[in-house]
Structure formats: C-alpha cells, structure tokens
Amino acid sequence: MQTIRTLIVDDEEMIRNGIARLVHSCGEEWEIVATLSDGQEAMDYLIQSLGAVDLLITDVKMPVMDGLTLISEGRRHYSFFPLVISGYDEFQYIQSALREGAVDYFLKPIDREQFRDRMAEIKVKIQSGRVQHMKWTELERKSERLKTTEQIQLLSYVTSAGLDSSRLGYWVDGFPKGCYALLYISLDALPVKTRSYTTKDWEAYAYVLENIIKEVVEKRGSDTEHIGWCWRGDELNFWVLLCALENGRENLEGTVNEFSDHIRSAVRSYTPFTVSVSYGGQIEDLYMLPEAKDGALSLMYNRLLYGGNQLFNREGIQRQADTSLDPIDPGLMAIVQRMKQSIEQLNETTAVQLTKEFFGRLEQMNSPIAIQRALMNAFILIHSVGVEMKVNTVGIDTLENRILTIKRAINLNELRSELDKQIAQLIHQIRQIRQSGSMKPIEQAKTWIIANFQHDLTIKLIAEQVHMNPSYFCRHFKTQTGETILDYITGLRMAKAKELLMNPQLKLYDISAQVGYQDVKYFSKLFKQWVGDTPSKYREFKLSK
C-alpha cells in the first residue's frame, strides 16, 4: 500500500502533536513524514526531500516564514495539497489561503469528525491524482518512444545511399539543439570460422551487435549532457549520432573516444568479431549530416592502411591498437591535405606540383615500409575526394585495386603516374558536375553571409535567403565550391578574427562576439584548429614583429 505522505507545520508543539494524532486516527494509509515548527524548516524539508510530500498541514502565523508564504513558495517548485489550520477567522486569511491552492481552511479548535470527513475527501483527491499522474507518465513515455522511433527513421533515411534528404523538408526541427557527432561502426575482416555460419547465425549476431551498441548509447545518454540514437546501415554496419547539449559541448571529443573504446571492447568480448569506428568531426548544424556521413565513410578507408579495431578521426589520425606502427611524417600528410584541397578547387597545376613535391620527399626516405604506408595514405585521401564529392566512379579502379598496385609497383615513377592519373580523372569529373549546376544561388548566399557572419547563422536561415531547401543547399554548395557551407563561414570568421587581433585594445570576448561566437572558449578552440595557435599567441607573435 502506498502511503499518503503528510507534513505538519505549527509553531506550538502541543498543537503539532495533536494534529499528528488526528491524522493517524484517519487510517493506516496516512504517514507523518515530519512535524516542524516554522515555514522555513518546512521549506528546507521540501527541498531536501525533492518535494516528496502529498499533504501539507500548516498554521498561518509562524516565526521566520508564515504558512501562506510557505504554500506559495513550495507550490512554485513542487506539487502537493495544502490544508490550513489557524486560530484566525479573518476573511483575508481565508481568501489568501484558498487563492494559494489550499484544499480547506480549519479553525482551531478542530472538530474531529469534520476533520476526518475532510481527510477522507482529500485522500480520494490524492489517490485520483496519482492515477492521473501515472497515466500521464505512461503517455509521455509512449510519446517519447514514438518520437525516438520517428527520429531514427529520419536519420536512417538521411544516411541511406541514393535517397534525397531534401524531400524531408525542415527535418532538423524535430531534434534538440546542440553539437552533434556521427559515428560509423563497421565490422572488420571476418574470421575464417564465419564461413560456416548460416543465415540464422548472421541474424542472431546482427541482433547481438545492435543491442550492444544500443546499450552503450543508452548508458551514455543516462547523463544530462548527452543523448544518442543508433540505427543499422547496410549489412552489419551501424550508425550512431551523439548530441552534446549546451553543458556537454566541450566534452564531446572525449565522449566520442570513450564511446568508441566501450563499443570496440564490448564487441570483442561478446562476439567473435571486431569493429572499427570512424568519426568525421563535430556537426554544428544537423543539416550537415549527409556531409558528415560521407566524411565518416571516407575515413573508414584508413582501415586498409592501419588494420581493424581502430577509431579514425577527421584528420585521419587513429587510436592505434598496434603501437609498433610509426606515425606517417606530418610533412607528407600536410602535402597530401593540400593536394586534396587543390583537387576540390579544380587546380590541377597545383595538384601536379604537390605530387612532384610529395614523391621528391619519398625518394629521400630509406624505409620501404614507411614509403608504402605514406603512399597508401595518399591514395586513400585522394580517393575520399570522389566519395565526398559524389563523383561517378564508373571506370575508376576501386581503392582496393589501387592499394594492390602500390604493393606490386616496381618503382616510384610508376606510382606517381598512377596518382597523377587519379587526380586528373577526379578533377575532370568534378568539373563536369559543377558545369551542370548553377553558381548563382551560391554567390547570392556568399554575399549575404559576408554581410551577416557576425550573427548566429544556421543553414536553414542561409538557405531561406536563396529560396532553397536546407539539405539540397548544403549538397549544392559543397558540389560547386569544394567546401562545406560551415567551413566557408568559419573561414570568413577566422580571417576577420586575425584582422581584429591586430588591435591590442580589443578584448578576446569582444573579438569572439564580433565574429559570431558568444562562447569565448569555443572560439579559442576553433581558432587554434584553423590557425595552429591560440588567439593570444597569434596576437603576441604578430605584434612582436
């Protein structure tokens, strides 16, 4: 039996005890949780117990805090039935008590029979309220489950190959505001014994894998800073979307790393498989989800280079299980990154020059293994351009064939010709795609962004300026310019920030606000990612010249 929790407040001990005896005489379902001497003590109890009180019986005039103030303050935060017992029969007290929600107003001395009858009526109200609360709670749970199911269906549609997410309209409106991370979880090379698995075996393992991932997502979502969704992709691959609410933004990178570790460890412990996880960086606007998907898929190609059971991030840096692998020369990686950018910008001359520089540095290396790994990294990164730009790959060798070419090559000249050929094919196909589209809405959007980048911009708001669907606008902008809309905005803001930092009179929070960032810590972190130094160090270095 669930008891009715009753709190009694009166500044006279004898009256408190008398009311407690009266309440107990009304039946065993009545529980006295506390008897207190003033309104402040009662308020403190409500706070400490998180409002675990069904009925508050209180006097009106008491020291520290009176009964009417107690009712008013308490009901602002908690739900309970107030019952007033007082020696004052002035109309203003009765009127104030009823206005604050009191279920009744008894005058001292209390009529016992009348009190018991009224308590019986209050008991019915409280029990009826509990039933209604249970029904509402269940309805809210069902509504939340339905909402989550609809969200997962939307996410599955957006990340499915060949489906047009622009048909979904303003689908992002159904998700909470925050910073997101999309993770791609892919089954690694299968052990030999799986060749004997039946269809039922694979169905069972698919169920196990999905439940392992869901359990980790739900455990991560049990805190107040992060929530998540997971859904199945093609075959035995899965997607997870994590959302860091405002308080969890700074910890999102750490959350991704922890999540990846837990997933990979659990899969290895409970199944005969291993999985790798790829993560394309933070998503500031959920309309960028398709681009984040392409980035995650591209990063998974690094598995060909580093093996499975890894986490690959947007820089192509991996959390390696095998620490015996030396990292690739950062200088070589920087050249390949610039090569990738020149392809996206259709600058074939620069790409060829960078290819020459890249192979010139390879010729100075002594380790055949290091040379091979650097080449594989280059081919993987260049191949990712085609994936992200949605070029037609018909007629182009698969990445696996290119990796085999690297392993079988006789000399570096042969591989340089192969890389030049791949670059030329990509630039030709990207140029054809751009020529078939219109740059007019892109130029209009850029003009508007330049005039408004100091404000809080969203993809939906920008797309409205050129009368385009947000999802389609994102894809069209990336196709025509080679960069995402958010990268373009961030580039503008960082350029302006560097200009403002030359003024020693401006405070960092002023500069942050002037380039569209209200959070100074986030601005500083982003500035370092783009420029290589914190804003303070950048200013110090430039002004010292």
Task: Give the pLDDT confidence of 229-269 residue by residue, as tens digits.
Answer: 999 988 789 999 999 876 656 778 888 888 999 999 999 99
Mean pLDDT of the chain: 85
Q: CB–CB of 423/348 below 8 Å?
A: yes
3-state SS assignment for residue 345: coil
Report the alpha-carbon distance of residue 450 to residue 269 in Å, rounded.
Answer: 52
Residue 390 DSSP symbol: T
Say if strands 318-319 and 311-312 run parallel, antiparallel, or are unpaired. antiparallel
Task: Give the pLDDT confidence of 115-125 residue by residue, as tens digits.
Answer: 888 889 888 98
> Of 228, 235, 176, 171, nearest to 209 (Cα)?
235
442-543 maps to which CATH number? 1.10.10.60
Angle at 221 between CA 219 and CA 223, to 5 degrees: 95
Confidence of residue 278 (pLDDT cuts 50, 70, 90): very high
| Side-by-side strand order, sheet with 81-86 | 30-36, 4-9, 55-58, 81-86, 104-107
Q: Which tokens sit at 47?
A: 């706070």
Residue 79 DSSP symbol: -
Residue 396 has pLDDT above 50, yes or no: no
pLDDT at 321: 42
Query: Which residues lie below 8 Å from residue 473, measured CB to CB, with a gap of 6+?
Result: 441, 445, 459, 462, 463, 466, 485
Task: Give the pLDDT confidence of 62-84 residue by residue, as tens digits.
Answer: 888 888 889 888 888 898 888 88
Q: Which tokens sit at 351?
A: 């790409």
Confidence of residue 465 (pLDDT cuts 50, 70, 90): very high
Number of C-alpha atoms within 13 angstroms, CB side, residue 138? Answer: 6
Q: 159-323 has which fold?
A: Alpha-Beta Plaits (3.30.70)
Helix (H) or strand (E) holding 279: strand 275-283
Residue 530 has pLDDT above 70, yes or no: yes
pLDDT at 221: 60
Residue 398 DSSP symbol: P
220 vs 432, more confident: 432
Query: For 4-133, which CATH superfamily applies?
Result: Response regulator (3.40.50.2300)
Residue 97 has pLDDT above 70, yes or no: no
Report the alpha-carbon distance of residue 259 to residue 219 in Å, rounded.
Answer: 10
pLDDT at 325: 55
> Of 294, 292, 320, nearest to 306 (Cα)?
320
Report the alpha-carbon distance of residue 70 to residue 122 in Å, rounded.
Answer: 20
| Side-by-side strand order, sheet with 226-232 | 226-232, 238-244, 179-187, 275-283, 311-312, 318-319
Task: Please report where in the chains the tokens 């070419």 appear, as a residue.
Answer: 405
Report the alpha-carbon distance of residue 530 to residue 139 in Å, rounded.
Answer: 47
Strands in 10-152 per DSSP E: 30-36, 55-58, 81-86, 104-107
Report the alpha-carbon distance of residue 176 to residue 296 in Å, rounded.
Answer: 22
Helix (H) or strand (E) holding 7: strand 4-9
Q: Determine the straight-line distance between the first and last CA of the chain, rounded to whole angstroms.
A: 79
Q: CB–CB of 148/229 below 8 Å?
A: yes
Report the alpha-carbon distance of residue 433 to residue 453 in Å, rounded.
Answer: 28
**How many residues are listed for the chain in this entry?**
545
3-state SS assignment for residue 184: strand
Q: CB–CB of 381/344 below 8 Å?
A: no
> Of 286, 252, 242, nearest to 485 (Cα)?
286
As beta bridge partners, residue 241 has 182, 229
Angle at 146 between CA 77 and CA 208, to 5 degrees: 110
Q: At what angle do helices 112-158 and 289-299 cross, to 10 degrees?
A: 60
Q: At what angle do helices 520-531 and 535-543 cross, to 10 degrees?
A: 60
Please state the domain extents for the chain.
4-133, 159-323, 326-436, 442-543
Report the alpha-carbon distance of residue 336 to residue 253 in Å, rounded.
Answer: 25
Instruction: For CA atoms 304, 307, 313, 317, give the dihedral sign.
Output: negative
pLDDT at 88: 66
Q: Is the peptide bond preceding residue 109 cis, with omega within 30 degrees of 0?
A: yes
pLDDT at 8: 92
Q: CB–CB of 498/505 below 8 Å?
A: no
Highest mean pLDDT among 92-101, 131-140, 161-170, 385-394: 131-140
pLDDT at 318: 46
Number of C-alpha atoms within 13 angstroms, CB side, residue 223? Answer: 13
Confidence of residue 317 (pLDDT cuts 50, 70, 90): low
401 vs 515, more confident: 515
pLDDT at 248: 57
Burial of 518 (0-12, 13-18, 19+ CB in 10 A): exposed
96 vs 484, more confident: 484
Residue 415 has pLDDT above 50, yes or no: yes
